[in-house]
Amino acid sequence: MSEQEKNDKGLKDMFKQVYDVWEKSAADQLEKFTRSQAFLTALAQNVEHTLNVSQRVKDITQTTLGMMNLPTRQDIEHLSKQLRALRNAVAEINEKLDAMDTKPAPAKTKAPSKKAAKTSKRKATS
């Protein structure tokens, strides 16, 4: 190993040691800060404001779409649910109809005609 390579390796090791010390110190400070009440309060406020803005955007979008007579995501989801329910009902009905088609039909007995009924009454009374 040449003298230059030894110096480079020594320099790299020194920078690594300095970096490791800095990282440990920064990590400790960052951990203390992120556990502080000030940070947690600011974070909670940030989340609350983000949710409020998100809700306002949603409300404005729904209002705008309504004014333009266009469906919202909720409208489309509702219609999709109704369509699925209708498809399921039609499928059920088709299954029942198919089951009825595969069953043998009961033998139909022909009802006696009126003339035959009168003739049999006459024979019975005679």
Q: What is the C-alpha separation between 80 and 100, in angstroms, rounded?
A: 30
- The residues, any chain, with a CB within 8 Å of residue 120's CB and separated by 6 or more, are 112
Scan for tokens 């499928």, then name that residue: 91
Split at pLDDT 50, 70, 90, the class of 20 is: very high
What type of residue is 3? E
User: Contact, 108 vs 101, CB < 8 A?
Assistant: no
Transcribe 26-52 into DSSP letters: HHHHHHHHHTSHHHHHHHHHHHHHHHH
Tens digit of pLDDT for each residue in 78-111? 999 999 999 999 999 999 999 888 766 566 666 6
Higher pLDDT, 43 or 111: 43
